[in-house]
Structure 1
Amino acid sequence: MDHEWLKPLIEQSIKETADYHEKAFLQELEKLLHQQEIRIELKQGELDGKLWNPSEW
């Protein structure tokens, strides 16, 4: 899953908004997106490792 198109959109929205609550929401959304990318990468590595290890089948 590639979320690269979403990052600039969030960053631009953070710069443009003057509302504190909206800015805080967008900043947390950006953090959440980054955490999800890390989790996806780790799970892909875990899956790859299991596919190459017959004892894990």
Structure 2
Amino acid sequence: MEDEKWLLDQLATLSKTATAYQDRAFYAALAEMVKQQQRRLEQAQGELDGRLWQPANW
């Protein structure tokens, strides 16, 4: 989570300082991708935890 926050902060800073619209759009899309990847990682971890803690599989 800390790394994600740092990366999103960096992307926000880059987006604010970018002069070209294409650069700002790229940084915004990259930030959205980082958020989606973090969400997918959390879901995969939750799924793994759920599969490991099924008493029927012990």
Report the TM-score range of the alignment, normalised by the length of the smaller protein.
0.7 to 0.9
Structure (1/2) with the larger helix percentage = 2
Cα distance change, pair 55–18 in 1 and its aligned pair in 2 (3 A):
same
Tell me the residue number matched to 1:6.
7
TM-score of the pair, normalised by structure 1:
0.87
Q: Which runs of 5+ in 2 are unaligned?
A: none
Tell me the residue number matched to 1:19.
20
TM-score of the pair, normalised by structure 2:
0.86
The number of equivalent residue pairs is: 57
Which has the higher relative contact order, 1 or 2, with Cα contacts under 8 A spaced 6 or more apart?
Answer: 2
- After the TM superposition, list the runs of 4 or more consecutive aligned residues in structure 1 that deviate by more than 4 angstroms: none
